[in-house]
Structure 1
Amino acid sequence: MTHQQRPSPYPDRSGVVGQAGFAGRSAFVDLAHRSHRVIVEHQHPSGAYPASPTFSAYQGFAWFRDGSFTAEGISRYGDVASADRFHDWVNGVLTSRQAQIEALVAAAAAGQEVPVERMLPTRFTLSGGEGSVEWWDFQTDGYGMWLWAVTTHARRHGLNLERWRAGMELCVDYVAAFWDRPCYDWWEEHLEQRHVSTLGALYGGLTAVVASGALDDVRTARASQIAAEIRKLTLDEGVRGGHLTKWLGTDAVDASLAACVVPFGLVDVDDPIAAATLDAIAADLDVDGGVHRFSADVFYGGGQWLLLSALQGWNRAVAGDHAAARRYLTWIAERATDRGELPEQVPDHLLAPEHRAEWIERWGPVATPLLWSHGMYLILADELGLLDTAHHGGVR
């Protein structure tokens, strides 16, 4: 089913979301339609999904990380064409940098110390270029996420991965060369650490591409080997008190760790480490269904992030706790604006309220809409059976 076959989303109903309450199925479904519309209305002609079309620091840029989860939500919604265009964009970004990637991989193979400044960026302009403003650029998680997203999308809809094979090969080569190097985390912090959520994303991407059968034997073997090394390293050095940790060697948790369970499968849903990790996140970072990033967060005062509530809900749904998952979905839906737009975070239960004003002065109001929030809403709504499931082909 394509999105053209769905009912017209949100026709002249600007006040239907907001704080009016989400007691019935139809309101959740309406917000799913609205989420799809927000995403596709802002998708660039290149296929890129801008992180946020209005937020000063994100406007005009796209991340593989945000885009991969947004594309997954769009794929589940059934808009194959939109997701295809995003994957085309990523493939083009990678293939246009083939010489750079090959040079980086060769330098690593020769034992050369490659400076951070030479690494691939984490964010790109919507046309696939590199921005002129300095950013916290060396992050590898998005490259693993894209491998997971493109293979999952293709499997769900019975698509031929040959369309994106060139980019996938380059992506695997890059990840294989630099997977164990410290880099910035999901939140673009702590360049000096090896982050468990990053390792989980790389594991998820490598195992997904191996399972797809799309690569040659040499790359398949290499990807399998590195995935095994990632898992061993994480279990050896990234588990404390029975749960996964924010980075190797710490006791702290981070809400992004839930992705190491679902969707990336670094630890299985039934593994006691998975349950302990989700429980640690809930205990340290979850207040009434709103999930903080990490306990020391000061960004915009350290609010609650909608996409992280969706990630926690996704995990609970897969584990069979649909009541808990629906509570997360409800919390997210009730934070939508009157226009049906989902922000990046909300100022509920701020961890560091004294820092909120400085960020507003620096970058303006919180990013609204954040396309990643809308993509995650679609994923969780789908897990709870609120989207038409005819298009899944047995794949969620």
Structure 2
Amino acid sequence: MPPTSPAGEDSGVPASAPAGDTSADLVELARRSHQVITEHQHPSGAYPASPTFSAYRGFAWFRDGSFTAEGISRYGDAESANRFHDWICGVLSARGEQIREVVQATAAGEETPMERMLPTRFTLDGDDGSVPWWDFQTDGYGMWLWAVATHAKRHGVDLSRWRAGIELCHDYVVSAWHRPCYDWWEENVEQRHVSTLGALYGGLTAIAAAGVLDDERTSRAAQTAGEIRKLVLDEGVSGGHLTKWLGTDAVDGSLPACIVPFGLLDVDDPIAVATRAAVARDLDVDGGVHRFRADVFYGGGQWLLLAALLGWNRAAAGETGAAWQHLRWIAAQATDDGELPEQVPDHLLAPEHRQEWLDRWGPVATPLLWSHGMYLILADELGLLPEVTR
């Protein structure tokens, strides 16, 4: 996070803020984001994806929750993040035998049937749930390894608290990383997605460096991460930029995560520079970011969490003006109650498909806790969070 200081006593303006930006509303939205996330956190520690949306209510994802927990951790609420990581550790420990079966099958050269792989979402109590979903997906497991290691380092938490879950998650990722699976958006199960591979790389490298694994697991984590990176560079680059999946030339709004925070590429690597440019060119409109050009979900609107992700990357690359544009765009989408939706129907890519999703699932998820978590992350990158609690 860049160093900041008030522009004037109690002005609430980070030194890095654009001239003329009072930022009071941006700071207040950070406070509100923390409130929304924590007031909806389940007693188990789980963060529900959305407390009101018909298809998300009552369920938690490792993917959404890991980024939400990162925002909460950056805000300074270590206890809320600890409780989330406790919940995940419990979910994994309860499935220890299932994970060991996957590991043993992979070691024997066998492929575990998809229905025996770990699910993508869980009930808030940690059960599998009875409603079919788009399983399986591996990205969230890599994301959690990154999130728990990053949080523990930030707040000086002893990672041995979550060692049992970390070891199981590591073993599962090392055994399953190479398989095609659904992407972040729960589509295209037949593909190997670059953003998924980036999340797995980020998780394995973070946990290998954290010192919580034994020597054998640390070595396997580093080796697997190296294999993932080589595969992406060999087959997941086209036109000089990262691609949506191996073998295509399309881009996806999730691709910047391979750079920041997962570190598969350095911020100034030419492929990273080209990836940011490709995502901005194809998917960014006035600060709001689409998922991908062929998106039809709710008509293919602009996603707040992806605006924050691209802003996060731009801030890390020194493009602070563009990063501030993303932050202000996100804030402008808040409801009167300060709740952030999943997406907004501006610049729809496929407006003819919007009504079918409204008929199927009702209004767009609002609030989406992942949107609030990502807002906190970008606000921190731009120096706003010290203004929230000072």
Q: What TM-score range do you get, normalising by the shorter chain? A: over 0.9
Q: How many residues end up aligned between the 2 structures?
A: 370
Of 310, 313, 322, the match for 2:311: 313
Give 1:171 shift: 0.3
Between the aligned partners of 1:378 and 1:211, the Cα distance in structure 2 is: 25
Asked if the contact 2:30/2:388 (under 8 Å) is kept, the reply is no
What residue in structure 1 maps to residue 343 of structure 2? 345
User: Match of 1:127?
Assistant: 125
Matches within 5 A, 1:1-396: 23-388=21-386
Distance 2:98 2:277 in 1: 42
Q: Give RMSD over aligned pairs.
A: 1.2
Shift of 1:349: 0.2
Tell me the CA shift for residue 389 of structure 1.
Answer: 8.3
**Secondary structure class of the residue paired with 2:42:** coil
CA distance in 1, matches of 2:109, 2:242: 31
Shift of 1:26: 1.4
Q: What amino acid sits opposite 1:291 in the alignment? A: V
The answer to whether the 8 A contact 2:47-2:65 is kept is: yes
Q: Distance in 2 between matches of 1:134 and 1:303?
A: 25
Secondary structure (helix, strand or coil) at the match of 2:90 reads helix
- The alignment-based identity, stated in percent, is 76
Q: Tell me how far 1:23 sits from its aligned partner.
A: 4.4
**Amino acid in the other structure paired with 1:138:** F
Q: Deviations over 1:227-263 (max 9, x none)?
A: 0000000000000000000000000000100100000
Taking the aligned partners of 1:165 and 1:114, their CA distance within structure 2 comes to: 25
Kindly state the Cα deviation for residue 338 of structure 1 after the two structures are TM-superposed: 0.2
Give the TM-score normalised by structure 2: 0.94
Name the amino acid aligned to 1:210: A
The whole-number CA distance in structure 2 between the counterparts of 1:132 and 1:351 is 33
Determine helix, strand or coil for the equivalent of 1:337: coil
After superposition, the C-alpha distances for 1:38-68 in whole angstroms (9 at most, x for unaligned) are 0000000000000000000000000000000
1:107 and 1:148 map into 2 onto residues whose CA distance is 26
Which residue in 1 is equivalent to 2:16?
Answer: none
Specify the code of the residue in structure 2 equivalent to 1:356.
R
Contact in 1 for aligned 2:193/2:245 (Cα 8 Å): yes
Q: How far off is 1:104 after superposition?
A: 1.2
For the residue of structure 2 that corresponds to 1:349, the secondary structure is: coil
* Deviation at residue 113 of structure 1 after TM alignment: 2.3
Deviations 1:133-165 (A, max 9, x none): 110010000000000000000000111000001
Structure 2 Cα separation of the partners of residues 221 and 137 of structure 1: 29
Amino acid at match of 2:332: E
Contact 2:27 2:388 in 1 (8 A): no
SS in 2 for 1:255: coil
* TM-score (structure 1 length as normaliser): 0.92
Residue identity matched to 1:232: K
Task: Quote the offset at 1:390 in angstroms.
Answer: 11
Q: Secondary structure at the match of 2:385?
A: coil
Gaps of 5+ in 2: 1-19
